[in-house]
Structure 1
Amino acid sequence: MTVSIALLGEYTPTFPPHAATNAAIEHSKAALGENIVSDWISTAEITPALFDRYSGIWIAPGSPYKNMDKTLAAIRHARENNIPCFGTCGGFQHMIIEYARNVLGFIDAQHAEYDPYASNLFISQLACSLAGREMQLRFEPTSRVAAIYGAITATEQYYCNFGINPDCVDALKQGPMQISGADAEGDIRVIEWPGHPFFIGTLFVPQARSTPQQPHPLVSAFLRAVANL
């Protein structure tokens, strides 16, 4: 049976994280031996019918998106209906906004890339850009992410200029979302929704480290969830 993934974002063939996303999916598909189709869909084209066709969504790097509200609605639907959802880089950032608005009740939670002067910025510009950097992470030992990696540490690559506003960390920790990974300074880099088939966000870009010989474990786990393996 063929299953399909929607890659939500503004696809640009020359943008390295987008090329890496396509490649990583192929690496994991080959390793799993599964027939999984992936389609890029602009956030402006998201409709409620999206989930009639697609069994999982990957919120891709490359924000700002054309339609933030439609993106957040898709993330919410996936979270509330146990549909596999993977967010990397910009996708992670929008998963944070969706959570802040719809779970924690901060209806004015905002992303600095869209409105840098908003009064409630949950995603702010990083004091030091992480674009092009590799950094070590530490995972919560009992987290789903640690189980997927089979380890509590990893080194991953970043491609972002925005992250969680330090002033909002305490608020984010008040709800059910699990903070499952952080960098050496303790900054949040991985989140997951407990009990969900697959709802994981990473500020880093795991697809950038995937190879045909070693498909990235997070990408493979996402595809397994989509294929219900």
Structure 2
Amino acid sequence: MKYIFVTGGVMSGLGKGITTASIGRILKNRGFLVTAVKIDPYLNIDAGTMNPAQHGEVFVLKDGGEVDLDLGNYERFLDINLTSKHSITTGKIYRAVIEKERHGDYLGGTVQIIPHITDEIKRRIKDAAESYTENGRKADVCLVEVGGTVGDIESMPFLEAVRQLVGELPKSDIALVHVTLVPEDNMGDHKTKPTQHSVKALRESGLHPDVIVGRCITVMSPSTKRKISDFCDVPSRAVITAATAKDTYEVPIEMEKEGMASVIMDLLGLGERSANNDWYRMVTVEYTNRITVAVVTKYGVEDVYISIKEALKHAGRKLSTEVIIKWIDAENFTDADFADVDGIIIPGGFGPRGIEGKINAIRYARENNVPLLGLCLGFQLVVIEYCRNVLGWKDSTSEEMGPGKHVIAILPEQENVTNLGGTMRLGDCEIDLKKGTRIEKLYGATKIVERHRHRYEVNPAYIAEIEKAGLVFSGSSGTRMEVGELNRDSFFLATQFHPEYKSTPSHPSPPYLGFVEACAKSKRV
């Protein structure tokens, strides 16, 4: 097993996750099987209870793990399916160590950061790396992104664990990549001092970078690279520019140009292999069409909807159609705001804020034959809108939103839940699709597996009446309704599951493909 550790300095939000995923893509293009681990130094057990407006999207893994959005990037870039063990948090580590102490596993010893916390970190990293298989084949390389910024108190135990691993593993089995900021002054000159100080802080942790990735707006000059090389004791060829790209999927291409592949493969003794260029051809496809899609949002932060953005991009590339997103505030819009859009998406979310606006957007799409895709909460609101405005049940609502006719009710197993973390219906679930429906035609199958993250469902007491009125529940999981659609030419479909979680550039999500294709066919402007 080869390990690549990715750390960050100067400031957060530099793009360590994209850098990590891009290195993985470079190796995958050469035939290596790659897996990935994300370390988040916060005390939360997972990302499930964190405010998405502050932290970004909560990504859901196949086993139901609620994790940082970077794991979504790993899955999309690498075409892999990760599990909860690939997400390590301070909360998980400390809980495990304390539970062992309570159980008596430490034989009366004093429990300390070193060795107990660091040993647990190392154990989990190795377990995630060595247990990953694909078609019976074990991974060749494990990427480990250490969240936070070097120098943060929260990251210190993890950096110490990495330091210990560097001493325990053969030199050719481990590489350390450090991502830093290389800003430009008013004259356009790159400034290297932030990188120098960041590397100094990393060295104080006992770690020396093998590769430095400089995040900057424009490509660094050879002289700038030499300066970083001289001050940070890294070969010039191992100083890699990560200039801002117009599309994150093009970052591996730019890193290839910078020589990242040969540097990493030399460090890990992986020999020489030519790259398969299918990825590069796929992500640089030329668009022959353009559509505008409205996403009706209640959070106002684009990173909350990163999987939706990427799924639209995947479908657009497959159909050579550029997708422009128009963000619509669910609490502040009029029907006129939809005049220039070719389709409408109603994404997921929690709580009553913005709900009436989303319902009005669904009404507009249905009445004006505008292609619509509802997701999770969006599926539930499609049902509520239909009940209110077609069946005439004006007090229709969700049990989540308050009193009224609860056409959307809480899942039976959620009724007495007191702990909010990790208790929703989460992860992969098998779904049956009705033959001859739009959703069955999109998937080309009557059984599918998709990921979930919800507490509420269509109330079984009203299903028959709703279907009699024309809204077809074309997908189900046992007694639970999973897909709703209208039998008409225009695209009007909603899913209780989140199809965007499994969408990748190589395998675009079928509902998104159908939606983008419908938008292109019914282009309004």
Fold-level match, TM-score > 0.5? yes
**Cα distance per residue 1:186-223 (max 9 Å; x no partner):** 32110101114110010000001101110001101100
Q: Does 1:6 align with 2:6?
A: no
- In structure 2, the residue corresponding to 1:35 is in which secondary structure? strand
- In structure 2, the residue corresponding to 1:104 is in which secondary structure? coil
The equivalent position to 1:112 in structure 2, one of 382, 395, 399, is 399
- In structure 2, the residue corresponding to 1:173 is in which secondary structure? helix
**Cα distance per residue 1:71-117 (max 9 Å; x no partner):** 212111211221000001010010000001111111110112211xx
Please give the alpha-carbon distance, in whole angstroms, between the structure 1 residues aligned to 2:384 and 2:341: 23
Q: Does 1:121 align with 2:406?
A: yes
Shift of 1:159: 1.1
Please give the alpha-carbon distance, in whole angstroms, between the structure 2 residues aligned to 1:65 and 1:119: 13
- Residue identity over aligned pairs, in percent, reads 29
Q: Number of paired residues?
A: 224
What residue in structure 2 maps to residue 136 of structure 1?
Answer: 430
Q: Does 1:156 align with 2:450?
A: yes
Report the residue type matching 1:126 in the other structure.
L
Please give the alpha-carbon distance, in whole angstroms, between the structure 2 residues aligned to 1:179 and 1:49: 30
- In structure 1, the residue corresponding to 2:482 is in which secondary structure? strand
- In structure 2, the residue corresponding to 1:114 is in which secondary structure? coil
The equivalent position to 1:43 in structure 2, one of 330, 340, 348, is 330
**Structure 1's 76 and 33: CA in aligned 2 closer, same or farther, altered over 3 A?**
same
Alignment of 1:162-177 (within 5 A): 162-177=456-471
Shift of 1:225: 0.6
Answer yes or no: is the 8 Å Cα contact 1:2–1:36 preserved in 2.
yes
Report the residue type matching 2:506 in the other structure.
Q
| TM-score, normalised with respect to structure 2 | 0.41
**Cα distance per residue 1:107-163 (max 9 Å; x no partner):** 110112211xx2410111212365422111111101011011111110000011111
- In structure 1, the residue corresponding to 2:314 is in which secondary structure? helix
Moved more, 62-71 or 188-197: 62-71
- In structure 1, the residue corresponding to 2:457 is in which secondary structure? strand
Alignment of 1:78-227 (within 5 A): 78-115=365-402, 118-128=403-413, 130-183=424-477, 185-227=478-520
**Cα distance per residue 1:20-72 (max 9 Å; x no partner):** 11111111111111122012222012211122121110000113353322221
Answer yes or no: is the 8 Å Cα contact 1:46–1:71 preserved in 2.
no
User: Counting helix residues as a fraction of each chain, which structure ranks higher?
Assistant: 2
- In structure 1, the residue corresponding to 2:475 is in which secondary structure? strand
Moved more, 2-11 or 104-113: 2-11
Moved more, 73-82 or 147-156: 73-82
Report the residue type matching 1:123 in the other structure.
I
| TM-score, normalised with respect to structure 1 | 0.91
Structure 2: 5+ residue runs without aligned partners?
Answer: 1-288, 415-423
Q: Does 1:58 align with 2:345?
A: yes
CA RMSD of aligned residues (A): 1.7
Moved more, 196-205 or 68-77: 68-77
- In structure 1, the residue corresponding to 2:324 is in which secondary structure? strand
What residue in structure 2 maps to residue 69 of structure 1?
Answer: 356
Shift of 1:171: 2.3
Answer yes or no: is the 8 Å Cα contact 2:335–2:364 preserved in 1.
no
Please give the alpha-carbon distance, in whole angstroms, between the structure 2 residues aligned to 1:67 and 1:5: 19
- In structure 1, the residue corresponding to 2:374 is in which secondary structure? strand
Report the residue type matching 1:178 in the other structure.
V
Structure 1: 5+ residue runs without aligned partners?
Answer: none
Higher relative contact order (CA 8 A, sep 6+): 1
* Larger Rg over CA atoms: 2
Report the residue type matching 1:205 in the other structure.
H
What residue in structure 1 maps to residue 65 of structure 2?
Answer: none
